[in-house]
Chain A
């Protein structure tokens, strides 16, 4: 049990819609990262937030955006969904000063 909870577990959307995925971390986990894992591939880094500020971003377009809140929860928002956005989205958090990331179970997004 990592203490990182993601919701919903599964989601179906149609192309062009917008989606919000949520992640709840343990108290004191000031860093949260989001990853996209397409079928048969390893997770790809989307972005990272530290103390509610984005402090790193992978090769994802601006329609992928995020928020981190003071209560250690965070959101991943994706606008104008495309078929290729279908994937497992993973959230990972870390306590202050600890270089281990604790992963949630993920949200499976299907775009039709």
Chain B
């Protein structure tokens, strides 16, 4: 059962372009939603966490929005840089504490 869907699966953009990564989920009773970054073969780095009562969170060039009613979250990365190349995962936490992850969007920023 696919609980979290991330589209697109891969994305390649020239440096300086803005990135838009989409995440959709089927569980309406989420506790929070989190965006992670994963470099090849490495662990997860938390980027932004949005509580279920919030609409968005911002950190530097990153902005994440959450629409619980439609089951969607979007991660925006402004003015992309080659160092932003990585896989970006979204995950929601439900009341049973576990995180449910999407398969990720692999981003390549070309210099």
- B93: Cβ under 8 A from any A Cβ: yes
- Who on chain B is nearest to A10 by CB? B41
Evaluate contact between A90 and B44: CB separation under 8 angstroms: yes
Evaluate contact between B43 and A106: CB separation under 8 angstroms: yes
- Who on chain B is nearest to A4 by CB? B43
Residues of B within 8 A of A2 (CB): 43
User: Which A residues, 76 to 112, have Cβ-Cβ distances below 8 Å to chain B?
Assistant: 88, 90, 92, 99-106, 108
- A45: Cβ under 8 A from any B Cβ: yes
Evaluate contact between B99 and A101: CB separation under 8 angstroms: yes
* A99-B43 CB under 8 A given contacts A41-B103, A42-B102: no
Q: How far is the CA of A106 from the CA of B100 in the complex (A)?
A: 17
User: Which of B43, B98, B103 contacts A48 (CB under 8 A)?
Assistant: B98
Query: How far in angstroms is the closest Cβ of chain B from A10?
Result: 9
Q: How far is the CA of A101 from the CA of B46 in the complex (A)?
A: 9
- B4: Cβ under 8 A from any A Cβ: yes
- A58: Cβ under 8 A from any B Cβ: yes
User: Which A residues, 53 to 81, have Cβ-Cβ distances below 8 Å to chain B?
Assistant: 55-56, 58
- A24: Cβ under 8 A from any B Cβ: no
Residues of B within 8 A of A43 (CB): 44, 89, 91, 99, 101
Count contacts between A and B, CB distance < 8 Å. Answer: 57
User: Which B residues, 36 to 57, have Cβ-Cβ distances below 8 Å to chain A?
Assistant: 36, 41-46, 49
Q: How far is the CA of A44 from the CA of B89 in the complex (A)?
A: 12
Q: How far is the CA of A45 from the CA of B42 in the complex (A)?
A: 17
Q: How far is the CA of A55 from the CA of B98 in the complex (A)?
A: 10
Evaluate contact between A45 and B102: CB separation under 8 angstroms: no
- Who on chain B is nearest to A59 by CB? B1
User: Which of A41, A55, A102, A105 contacts B42 (CB under 8 A)?
Assistant: A105
* A103-B43 CB under 8 A given contacts A42-B102, A45-B100: yes
- B74: Cβ under 8 A from any A Cβ: no
User: Which B residues, 49 to 102, have Cβ-Cβ distances below 8 Å to chain A?
Assistant: 49, 89, 91, 93, 96-102
